[in-house]
């Protein structure tokens, strides 16, 4: 562990519909274990007094209040699905507090969807309402620097879509992947912490399963692994009990400290 650790907070560990799922009375949706209550998937990364958010879920307002977020210095996007972008309008109070636009970083096709969905924020038309103030930055496969730390985009397959995960320091956050291409695996060596998608046990066309992700943990050999984007098929306690001791299910509010270097 270095003198300048990175704090990761899991803001949401659930799949696109969240857990409990609307209208469902299954054992996990009815569970009293707080770790079985999963908002939509997102993490917060804090280092050197800076705060970087990955994705703005439909639950962003509740997540920000729960985590006591007072500022966001940058937002990274994995992809443009609704469960990863729809809370973007709720950065407005942070715009007022910070008195400046918030830079966002995403692939061009993700930015195109954000420009369309939040058109009122970008059309330069006079408005009587408050709008989120954002600076758009396109990223591709190249590493980029944010406040003195390098972020490396990790190319992932989400069904037929190509999306991004991110490596930073000795951690990597990968969600919404059904496949990890070989050229990406070479960027996932010597990790202290690896987040992986693990929707459920049954196969899904655009998401990983518990079994597939356990296989990737074996192959990539991080010191610790956390599974996220979890649906209501998986009860926290009984699912995790079957894992090796360095593999966990993430849960909302989980805080992890990782080193800047390996
Ligand atoms: Zn998702
Ligand atoms: Zn359920
Ligand atoms: Zn998705």
DSSP one-letter code for 234: -
Average pLDDT over residues 73-82: 98
- Let me know: does 27 contact 235? Beta carbons within 8 Å: yes
Per-residue pLDDT of 85-135, as tens digits, reads 999 999 999 999 999 999 999 999 999 999 999 999 998 888 888 999 999
- Ligand 1 geometric centre to CA of 191 (Å): 23
- pTM of the entire predicted model: 0.97
CA distance 1 to 206: 35
pLDDT at residue number 1: 45
Task: Name the DSSP class of 251.
Answer: -
Find out whether the peptide bond into 20 is cis, omega within 30 degrees of 0.
yes
76 CA → ligand 3 middle, Å? 15
How much distance in Å is there from the Cα of 30 to the middle of ligand 2? 7
Question: Is the predicted pLDDT of residue 2 greater than 60, yes or no?
Answer: no
Q: 2 versus 13: which is more confidently predicted?
A: 13
Res 108: pLDDT: 98
- Closest listed ligand to the CA of 178: 3
Question: Among 50, 40, 28, which Cα is nearest to 78's?
Answer: 40
Q: How far is the CA of 21 from the centre of ligand 2 (A)?
A: 5
Residue pair 18/50 in contact (Cβ under 8 Å)? The answer is no
**Residues 231, 227: Cα–Cα separation, whole Å:** 11
Whether residue 217 contacts residue 194, with contact meaning beta carbons closer than 8 Å, is answered with yes
Cα 33 to averaged position of ligand 1 atoms, centre (Å): 23
Who's near 137: CB < 8 A, 6+ residues apart? 103, 104, 105, 106
CA of 196 to the centre of ligand 3 (A): 13
Rg of the chain (C-alpha set): 18
Q: What is the per-residue pLDDT for 262?
A: 58
Q: Which of 34, 13, 64 is nearest to 176 (CA)?
A: 13
Cα separation of 5 and 48, whole Å? Answer: 8
């Amino acid at each position: 562990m270095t003198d300048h650790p990175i704090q990761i907070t899991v803001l949401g560990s659930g799949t696109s519909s969240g857990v409990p799922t609307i209208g469902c009375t299954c054992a996990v949706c009815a569970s009293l274990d707080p770790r079985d209550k999963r908002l939509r998937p997102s993490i917060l990364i804090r280092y050197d007094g800076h705060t970087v958010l990955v994705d703005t879920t439909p639950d962003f307002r509740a997540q920000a209040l729960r985590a006591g977020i007072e500022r966001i210095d940058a937002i990274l996007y994995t992809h443009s699905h609704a469960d990863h972008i729809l809370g973007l309008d709720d950065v407005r109070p942070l715009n007022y507090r910070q008195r400046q636009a918030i830079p966002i970083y995403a692939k061009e096709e993700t930015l195109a969807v954000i420009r369309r969905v939040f058109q009122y924020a970008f059309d330069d038309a006079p408005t009587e309402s408050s709008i989120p103030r954002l600076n758009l930055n396109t990223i591709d496969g190249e590493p980029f620097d944010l406040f003195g730390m390098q972020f490396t985009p990790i190319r992932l397959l989400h069904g037929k879509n190509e999306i991004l995960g991110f490596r930073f320091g000795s951690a990597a956050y990968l969600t919404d992947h059904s496949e990890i291409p070989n050229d990406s695996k070479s960027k996932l060596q010597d990790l202290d912490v690896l987040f992986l998608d693990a929707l459920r046990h049954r196969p899904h066309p655009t998401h990983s399963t518990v079994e597939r992700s356990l296989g990737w943990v074996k192959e990539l050999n991080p010191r610790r692994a956390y599974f996220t984007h979890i649906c209501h098929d998986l009860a926290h306690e009984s699912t995790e009990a079957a894992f090796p001791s360095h593999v966990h299910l993430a849960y909302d509010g989980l805080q992890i400290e990782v080193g800047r270097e390996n």
